[in-house]
Structure 1
């Protein structure tokens, strides 16, 4: 399918599809006239990429490790999947640590505001 239809089917803009290609995340086929040709497997990959990007994973990590996640055959597919999962867990743990710091800061601000509203913080 051409880029317009692929964008419609995947829910990703044509511009995003071109960006994914520029970043090496997808490699659509080409028609004889040079137009991109998106097969169902590429659309499935786009959906995985979109989901991973929406969860905050960096493009670098997705580009390096995605082949193992999408079930592409290859000698290192299982190792790539395990590595990808470790990287995702590490990213999640770093995110959780940042959330904890921000929660502590929010609690401190809440305490300050409570005190200020009682007249103690002028």
Structure 2
């Protein structure tokens, strides 16, 4: 279970990284729209796992690799924003958040289910 401090730090990192990706690093990612869907921090706040969602891109794995290559630059931008709130700027680990795609897949499965109507004989029993 996350502590209140972990949730606060994660929320702040999510907000700041969202601004960094939209304003300062947009040109590095070929104008792809990157959304920070979630941030989870370790109890010691040394590592932040950042979950990303991508729009306007075909190669999600390639874009994720580009982001990982730029992680030091991103961390430096983050450090300049949170230097007064945090003693240690967490190491950033980036992952693709596929929950939206998973939810869509489940919705499609449910939409394709055919449930036969109950016959009158089964209702009488």
Same fold, TM exceeding 0.5? no
| Larger helix percent | 1
| TM-score scaled by length of structure 2 | 0.29
Q: Which structure would you say has the larger RCO, counting Cα contacts within 8 Å and 6 or more residues apart?
A: 2
| Larger strand percent | 2
| TM-score scaled by length of structure 1 | 0.29
